[in-house]
Amino acid sequence: MRMFQKYFGELLGFVLCLILAVVALTVFIPKQPNLMKPNEQRIKYKDSLEYVAIGDSLTEGIGDIDNTGGYVPIVTDKLREATGIEAIDASNFGKSGDTSSQIKKRIESNDEIQSSLKKADFILLTVGGNDLMKVIRKQLFKELDVATFAKPATDYQNNLCALYETIRLYNKKAPIFQLGIYNPFYLTFQEIEGMDEIVTRWNERSELVTKEDKRAYFVPIDELLSSGMDTTSETTENNLLSDEDKFHPNRMGYQLIANQFTEKLMSEKSEWLEKK
């Protein structure tokens, strides 16, 4: 019995010493500071998205024989897949034939467009092709000269700036993603000299405007769409354009446009996806 009491006393003493040691460590040794900075906390994303697609025939979806709306529904599906957000609502205000100034006037006179712009997390814009075609029609019976397009290009740039200013009246923060234009005549009318350079210059004016806005991005499409897919030097028809008019994109063409938009959107997702 005495032996048991002896060992029990020693064990109890050991346990008490251990408890005192743990208490001492807790009290006298300072806690490690939290190394996670506030701005490194987990980024929170929005639960739903609304966006506006506005512009000309490319936004309306002309050339898509399935009549599904061109690139807009494809972008929506791709964003659902990329973000995991199911609640994505797109408002499509595309109108075939509209120039930059005509799109501006539509915004100014349409309450529905204004309301949708105010709620938009981001804006997709197609513009510029009809501005260029308007100049080309005037030059139909003349040789295309790049110098001839210098002043019209400046006029277009000024009109585009005015369009951006109008959009910003209703939404100052949403990023704008503007699609460039392409050369639909690259394969079918290869004898039209200077057209490639004219399209390039036109796109350069658009890109300048996006840079001036600070929250806008230029989305190039010319190289992808103008020459078709898997073509050779013998090819004279663009397989990315509609069989009906050889001008507007077909379903595959709109798929490429949607790919370009989505890629740029995801590269700039901090501008529209994060909760502020």
Range of the domain at 214: 49-269
Q: Is residue 15 part of a domain?
A: no
> Residue 101: inside a domain, yes or no?
yes
* 22 within some domain: no
**What is the three-class DSSP state of 2?**
helix
Q: 53 lies in a domain?
A: yes
- Predicted local distance difference test score (pLDDT) of residue 34: 37
In this structure, is residue 8 part of a structural domain? Answer: no
Provide the pLDDT for residue 194.
74
End-to-end CA distance of the chain: 73
Residue 32 lies in a domain: no
Residue 6 lies in a domain: no
SS3 126: strand
What distance in Å separates the CA atoms of residue 180 and residue 201, rounded to the nearest whole number?
Answer: 11
Which class for 59: exposed (0-12), middle (13-18), buried (19 or more C-beta within 10 A)?
A: buried
CA angle (74 as vertex; 126, 109 as ends), nearest 5: 40
CB distance 261 to 71 below 8 Å: yes
Q: What is the pLDDT of residue 90?
A: 98
Q: What is the pLDDT of residue 236?
A: 58
Alpha helices in the chain (DSSP H): 2-28, 57-60, 71-83, 100-109, 111-119, 129-138, 150-170, 195-213, 222-225, 251-267
**Splitting the chain (276 residues) into consecutive groups of 10 residues, what average pLDDT does each group show?**
50 55 46 39 87 98 87 98 97 97 99 99 98 85 76 97 99 98 69 76 97 97 78 65 86 96 98 92
Q: What are phi and psi of 238, to 5 degrees?
A: -90, 115
Distinct helix (H) and strand (E) counts, the chain: 10, 5
Q: How far apart are CA 118 and CA 116, in angstroms?
A: 5
Query: Residue 185, SS3?
Result: coil
Residue 91, φ and ψ in degrees, nearest 5: -110, 115
CATH code where residue 192 lies: 3.40.50.1110
Chain position carrying tokens 């005015």: 162
Domain count along the chain: 1
Q: Distance (Å, rounded) from C-alpha 256 to C-alpha 63?
A: 14
pTM above 0.85, yes or no: no
Query: What is the β-pairing status of strands 122-126 and 216-219?
Result: unpaired
Q: How far apart are CA 150 and CA 162, in angstroms?
A: 19
Q: Which of 57, 109, 92 is nearest to 248 (CA)?
A: 57
Task: Identify whether the C-beta of residue 176 lies closer than 8 Å to the C-beta of residue 261.
Answer: no
Domain membership of residue 24 (yes or no) is no
